[in-house]
A and B are shown apart, each in its own frame.
Chain A
Amino acid sequence: MLNYILRRVFGMVPVLFVITIIAFLFVHLTPGDPIRIMYGAEIDQETYQQMREREGFNDPLVVQYGRYMVNMLQGDFGMSYRTRVNVSDEIIRRFGYTFVLTVLAMFWAIVIGVGVGILSATKRNSLADRSSMIATITALSIPEFWFGLMIMQIFAVQLGWFPTSGSGTWIHLILPSVTLGLGVAATIVRFTRSSVLEVLREDYVRTARAKGQKESVVIWRHVLRNALIPVVTMSGLQFGFLIGGAVVVEQVFAWPGLGSYLIDSILGRDYPVIQALILLFSLQFLVINLLVDISYAFLNPQIRYD
């Protein structure tokens, strides 16, 4: 197991190296430069050229990439062009916000998703099953953006139960995390339902039932243990998507996480920040994938890694 983990970790290095090249080219080849975007038409050519020189934009791309890599390997992701703060410090601070938001969103998604999914499967074709399927399709179809603004209008503006936006207390987390978790919950419902239905058809379930075991024991001991493995994989990947994809929800609720940081940085062509965030989001995916694979072993000890 340890060998397997080490091999996977070392395997990430070349992948991350390629990602640094892609991220670097992506930001530098996108039209528009940070100085122009930041200062508009208000600066003259001389000052503009001077600023370009100072930021090293006039060097060949290879030189700029080399400088970026040397600094990055020393743990220095540079300074934001826009706000003049250390990128690493800012990412660490913002990661906390996004992590808390996504963990809570994932919590809602799993509790609702798995619960409703099991209920739907075990009561197949019942009213509850049909209602949950309609609700899931609706949840999947609603744009997060619209849903967020709607619950903000109802629960914050009209009822006054929650703050509309911002951060600071746990109450601030409720509306954005529900919004973020909605789509994932719907996906998990569908996934859990079909997975449970599939396992219910297996021989060992029939055997367990034939032996006269109680239905709850059959479901909890035999069905879920096997049915949840694909759900865990999917949830893990969804979690990865959430961390990188909280962009819309963070914008709507003015949540100061990595998503809103990425949007601001792309709009301002803040190269050091965009590069660092792309690398971070990629790393997250690799790590989450690894954790998902490892978690199989705990869910089903029959799975072995060579």
Chain B
Amino acid sequence: MFIRKKFGAASVALIAAFSLTAGAALAQQAVVVIEAEPTSMDPHNTTDSVSATVQGPMFEGLLRFDDTMSIVPVLATGYTYSDDATAITFELQQGVKFHDGADFNAEVVKMNLDFVRDADNGLARRSFFRFIEDVIVEDEFTVTITTGSPNSAMASYMAHTSAAMKSPRVIERKMADPDFNADRQGAVGTGPFKFVEWRDGVQTVVEAFDGYWNADNAAKVDRIVFRPVQEAATRINMLQAGEAHLVFPIPTLFGSQLENDSRVSLYTGPTTDVHYIGLNLQQDKYQDVRVRQALNFAIDKDGLIAQMLDGYGTIADSAIAPNVYGYAAQDIYEHDTAEARALLAAAGYADGFSSTLWTRNSTEFIAVAEYVAIQLRELGINVTVEAYESGTLFDMLDAGEGTDMYIGRWSPGTGEADYGLRPNFASDRVPPNFNNSGFYVNEAVDDLLNRALASSDPQEALDLYAEVQEIIYEDAPWVFLHIPESIVGSAPNLDGVYVLPSGNVHVSGITLN
């Protein structure tokens, strides 16, 4: 098996272990080059990782994920679940101020969560907070979130970047004036950096916030400038010319070229993205599990990773990635054409069949689709690849008509198994409700997911998640492909940054030596 590993999962693309010693000069500007323009400065209206990365230095939530995807407290000092996992209570930090001078307290937490959940406000992240039934202010610095049904993943949701706290003044302004543009002007958080400017196509700038509450995590550079540069080769040239301190993402093609370049420090680490081929189980040909398993045996995943990902990836040995909480490894479907043929023949498809494989129209996705098509043709499965722009593809999958095979990618932003599995495999998430575009319906899976989520005993939940992953892998509603690695380049003098497996880059601690 060809797997390139720069370092273990625990250190996930950890760029810095040590930060600059205290007292160093601060007259510094860090240039971070990103692949696209952010779409919003409002964390409650953001679903893309570029925007989340840019917002990161300005906003904080009650909790966050560290570089190993473990949950650590930020604006909360700690949290406790109720015994039946229907409530979570947070004790809050005191003395925290927003960049506009507003105080942070339990009322502010309630205000934020109530605002994002209110359908009238039309925020993109509303559905993310659906699990909340009520937000109760216990006292000035204690707040409790209750849910309608048991939910042991609440802390993971509250550690997501979407659960960042906005200044109450921004929310009040938006409530008073619906035309107020919080997407552009709502960047007021409690983070170590405050918003300076966002010039489309040019840069977004943040600068160190003097009144930051936590001296341990205070800004170590004066300013961070985010520059959007779509062309990957240009991003790399900027790094080599010393014009950028941090550049991402770097396509795998350039990875090996840069490995020996002294001007560049290169870091790779596994992501939480699982790439797969979804099968529409409403189609007769995919209803027999032997056909689905045959497709899994038919693909040479090692070859795919070596040829299409230049070695930067691992085989998906579950429906969720190893960095996701609750992951349990399964025995992979080793490449075995004879086994695949036998299974197809046993299912009555000895001569194969015809199918259509939908993919996004990006080069990487099309290349993988073509690779898969060639391998399946060897079994007599005549695959036609059709590439669509991602928005179109989502529409077609949501419509649920005409779906055959489709290439998908899923990464649970919450870093835990429920959000990794439920949207893709729960029977109430079939189109048009969510991501179960293959119409996979399995009562055992539904039951296990519900029991795991309701469990307040961590070990019991882990056991249940392990069981459900085994069922799903065996049942093969997907052809499990790979988990790519992310590649980030930096100047040799950069420290203090880490890349989350979910794709967000945590730059608040950026340091230039």
The interface of chain A, by Cβ under 8 A from chain B, is 31-34, 36-47, 50-51, 54, 82-85, 90, 94, 149, 152-153, 156-157, 160, 163-167, 251-254, 256-257, 260-261, 263-264, 269
Determine if B433 and A44 form an interchain contact, defined as CB atoms under 8 angstroms apart: yes
Give Cα A31 to B395, complex, Å.
9
B229 within 8 A of A: yes
Say which residue of B40, B123, B394 sits within 8 Å of A40 (CB atoms).
B394
Interface secondary structure of B, over-half rule? loop
Say which residue of B119, B122, B413, B432 sits within 8 Å of A45 (CB atoms).
B432
B253 within 8 A of A: no
Q: Which residues of A contact B390 (CB under 8 A)?
A: 32, 36-37, 40
In the complex, given contacts A84-B184, A164-B241, what are 15 additional A-B residue pairs having Cβ atoms less than 8 angstroms apart?
Answer: A32-B392, A41-B394, A41-B423, A43-B47, A44-B130, A44-B434, A45-B398, A82-B37, A84-B40, A84-B183, A85-B184, A164-B238, A165-B238, A251-B230, A264-B201
Contacts A38-B39, A90-B200 given; does A269 touch B432 at CB 8 Å: no
Determine if A50 and B392 form an interchain contact, defined as CB atoms under 8 angstroms apart: no
Q: Which residues of A contact B123 (CB under 8 A)?
A: 47
Give Cα A152 to B237, complex, Å.
8
Contacts A90-B200, A165-B237 given; does A54 touch B122 at CB 8 Å: yes
Smallest Cβ-Cβ distance to A44: which chain B residue: B127
Closest CB in chain A relative to B303 CB, distance in Å? 29
Q: Which residues of B contact A39 (CB under 8 A)?
A: 47, 124
Say which residue of A32, A33, A85 sits within 8 Å of B200 (CB atoms).
A85
Closest CB in chain B relative to A79 CB, distance in Å? 9
Closest CB in chain A relative to B289 CB, distance in Å? 26
Smallest Cβ-Cβ distance to B46: which chain A residue: A39
Determine if A149 and B237 form an interchain contact, defined as CB atoms under 8 angstroms apart: yes
Q: Which residues of B contact A54 (CB under 8 A)?
A: 122
Give Cα A41 to B413, complex, Å.
12
Closest CB in chain A relative to B237 CB, distance in Å? 5
Of all A-B residue pairs in the complex, the 4 with the closest CB atoms, nearest first, are: A32-B391, A256-B201, A37-B391, A44-B127
Determine if B122 and A51 form an interchain contact, defined as CB atoms under 8 angstroms apart: yes
A-B contacts, 24 of them at CB < 8 A, read A32-B389, A32-B391, A36-B390, A37-B389, A38-B39, A40-B394, A42-B128, A47-B126, A50-B122, A51-B122, A54-B122, A82-B37, A82-B39, A83-B39, A84-B184, A149-B237, A152-B234, A156-B237, A156-B241, A157-B237, A157-B240, A164-B243, A256-B201, A257-B201
Say which residue of A38, A94, A157, A254 sits within 8 Å of B241 (CB atoms).
A157
B442 within 8 A of A: no
Q: Which residues of A contact B119 (CB under 8 A)?
A: 46-47, 50
Give Cα A253 to B202, complex, Å.
11
Smallest Cβ-Cβ distance to B31: which chain A residue: A166
B228 within 8 A of A: yes
Q: Which residues of A contact B37 (CB under 8 A)?
A: 82-83, 264
Q: Which residues of B contact A149 (CB under 8 A)?
A: 233-234, 237
Give Cα A275 to B362, complex, Å.
24
Contacts A254-B228, A256-B202 given; does A43 touch B127 at CB 8 Å: yes
Say which residue of A44, A153, A257, A261 sits within 8 Å of B237 (CB atoms).
A153
Closest CB in chain B relative to A7 CB, distance in Å? 39
Closest CB in chain B relative to A167 CB, distance in Å? 7
Closest CB in chain B relative to A267 CB, distance in Å? 8
B443 within 8 A of A: no
Contacts A82-B39, A83-B39 given; does A260 touch B237 at CB 8 Å: no
Smallest Cβ-Cβ distance to A163: which chain B residue: B243
Q: Which residues of A contact B506 (CB under 8 A)?
A: none
Smallest Cβ-Cβ distance to B127: which chain A residue: A44
Closest CB in chain A relative to B163 CB, distance in Å? 14
Contacts A164-B238, A165-B229 given; does A47 touch B122 at CB 8 Å: yes
Interface mask (B194-208 → A, CB under 8 Å = 1, otherwise 0): 000001111000000
- Total A-B pairs in contact (CB under 8 Å)? 138
B141 within 8 A of A: no
Determine if A253 and B200 form an interchain contact, defined as CB atoms under 8 angstroms apart: no
Smallest Cβ-Cβ distance to A37: which chain B residue: B391
Give Cα A41 to B37, complex, Å.
19
Give Cα A32 to B393, complex, Å.
8
Smallest Cβ-Cβ distance to A97: which chain B residue: B201
Closest CB in chain B relative to A273 CB, distance in Å? 10
Q: Which residues of B contact A51 (CB under 8 A)?
A: 122, 124
Q: Which residues of B contact A269 (CB under 8 A)?
A: 391
Closest CB in chain A relative to B508 CB, distance in Å? 23
Give Cα A90 to B202, complex, Å.
12
B231 within 8 A of A: yes
Q: Which residues of B contact A263 (CB under 8 A)?
A: 230
Determine if B435 and A41 form an interchain contact, defined as CB atoms under 8 angstroms apart: yes
Smallest Cβ-Cβ distance to A250: which chain B residue: B201
Determine if B234 and A43 form an interchain contact, defined as CB atoms under 8 angstroms apart: no
B245 within 8 A of A: no
Closest CB in chain B relative to A182 CB, distance in Å? 18
Give Cα A288 to B241, complex, Å.
39
Closest CB in chain A relative to B389 CB, distance in Å? 5
B388 within 8 A of A: yes
Smallest Cβ-Cβ distance to A253: which chain B residue: B234
B301 within 8 A of A: no
Give Cα A156 to B231, complex, Å.
16
B239-284 contacts to A, CB under 8 A, are 240-241, 243
Determine if A40 and B238 form an interchain contact, defined as CB atoms under 8 angstroms apart: no
Q: Which residues of B contact A153 (CB under 8 A)?
A: 237
Determine if B229 and A47 form an interchain contact, defined as CB atoms under 8 angstroms apart: no
B181 within 8 A of A: yes
B99 within 8 A of A: no
Give Cα A39 to B125, complex, Å.
9
B223 within 8 A of A: no
Give Cα A34 to B395, complex, Å.
11
B64 within 8 A of A: no
Smallest Cβ-Cβ distance to B123: which chain A residue: A47
Q: Which residues of A contact B184 (CB under 8 A)?
A: 83-85
B227 within 8 A of A: yes
Closest CB in chain A relative to B489 CB, distance in Å? 14
Q: Which of B119, B127, B184, B231 has the most CB of A within 10 A?
A: B231
Q: Which residues of B contact A90 (CB under 8 A)?
A: 200
Smallest Cβ-Cβ distance to A53: which chain B residue: B122
Contacts A42-B128, A84-B184 given; does A251 touch B231 at CB 8 Å: yes
Q: Which residues of A contact B122 (CB under 8 A)?
A: 47, 50-51, 54
Say which residue of A37, A38, A254, A261 sits within 8 Å of B229 (CB atoms).
A254
Q: Which residues of B contact A252 (CB under 8 A)?
A: 231, 233-234
Q: Which residues of A contact B228 (CB under 8 A)?
A: 254
Say which residue of A40, A82, A164, A165 sits within 8 Å of B47 (CB atoms).
A40
B363-391 contacts to A, CB under 8 A, are 388-391
Q: Which residues of B contact A46 (CB under 8 A)?
A: 119, 127
Closest CB in chain B relative to A171 CB, distance in Å? 12
Contacts A43-B127, A44-B127, A46-B119 given; does A36 touch B395 at CB 8 Å: yes
Contacts A42-B128, A50-B119 given; does A31 touch B181 at CB 8 Å: no
Closest CB in chain B relative to A133 CB, distance in Å? 31
Say which residue of B126, B183, B230, B391 sits within 8 Å of A36 (CB atoms).
B391
Give Cα A50 to B121, complex, Å.
10
B331-387 contacts to A, CB under 8 A, are none
Give Cα A260 to B390, complex, Å.
20
Give Cα A54 to B122, complex, Å.
9
